[in-house]
Amino acid sequence: MDTRRLFDLSGRHALVIGAGSGIGAAVAEGLAGAGASVACADVVPAAAEATAAAIAAAGRMATAHALDLRDEAAVDALVAAQGALDVLVCTPAINVRKPLLEMSGEEFSRVIDLNLKGSFHALRAGGRRMAAAGRGSIILFSSIRALTVEPGQGVYAATKAGALQMIRALAAELGPRGVRANAIAPGVVETPLTAPIKAKPEWYRAYAEKSALRRWAQPSEMVGPAVYLASDASSYVTGTLTIVDGGWTAVDGRFDPPL
C-alpha cells in the first residue's frame, strides 16, 4: 500500500470557515497542499481573499467568500453554493475573559452566538449537504477548554464543550449516511485570539511552561491533524476529540518535583 495516498485530497472540495487568519488560514493552505480545492470564508473579506491568493500562488485552486458565521441564512447559502462539499472545517471563536459573576448578559450572548450557535449553523448546513451526498468529513475546532478550565474562561469553555457534544451527536446521527464528524482540541496556539496573552510576558511564559513541550504551538501545527481527519487515513474515525496540546492536559500542575 502506498500510504501517501491515504492523505491525498485530490479531487475533493473543502470549505474552511475562519480561513482569514490563524488556524483557519493554516488549515486552508494545508488542505490545498494535500490536493483539495478550497473555499476560504471569513468575516473579514480581505483576509479570506489573502488566504485564497496564497493558495492560488502555490498553484492550487481556491475561492474567497465573506461570511459572518452568526448569519444563519448566509451560512446556508454559502454551503448550498458549493459545487460539491467533501470537507467542512469550522474554526471561528471569541472569548470574553471574566469571572462568571462579573459576566454581563450581553457578553454571555456574544460568546454563545458565535462559538456555539454559529458552529451549529455550520454543522447543520454542512451536515445536511453531506448527508444528501452520502459522504463527507466535518471538522470542528474545539479546545482543551472543552475538558479543563481556568478562572475567567467559564463561558468560553462551556461553548467548546457544547460544540464537542454537537459533533458527537452528528457522528451518531450521520454515520449511517456516510458522514464523519470530529473535533480538534488545540492547546495554546499563537493566533489573534491569544494575542492579549502573548502581550504579557509572564502570562505567556506560564502558558508555555504548562505544556510538556514547554512552548506554544504555531497554527501550522494544526494542519496535520486536520488533513488526517479530512482524508481516507481517518476513514474509520468519527465522534472523536483529537487533542493537540503539547501535553497540556496530560501534565498535572506547574511544579517539577525532585526526582
In Å, how far are 4, 43, 51, 83 from 40, measured between CA atoms? 25, 10, 7, 14
CB burial readout 175-200, b (16+ within 10 A) else e: eeeebbbbbbbbbbbbbebbeeeeee
Phi then psi for residue 178, to 5 deg, are 85, 10
Phi first, then psi: what are they for 95, rounded to 5°?
-140, 135
Which candidate in 156, 204, 207, 228 is catalytic?
156
Amino acid at 218: Q
Dig out the grid coordinates for 165 from the structure.
457534544
Q: How many CB atoms lie within 10 A of CB 161?
A: 16
Any catalytic annotation for residue 156?
yes
Residues 118 and 165: beta-carbon distance below 8 Å: no
By the 10 Å C-beta count (0-12 exposed, 13-18 middle, 19+ buried), 237 is classed as middle
Residue 86: name the closest of 46, 34, 43, 42 by CA.
Answer: 34
In angstroms, the Cα distances linking 232 to 79, 121, 137, 140 are 22, 26, 10, 17
DSSP β-ladder status, 136-141 and 87-90 = parallel
Catalytic positions: 156
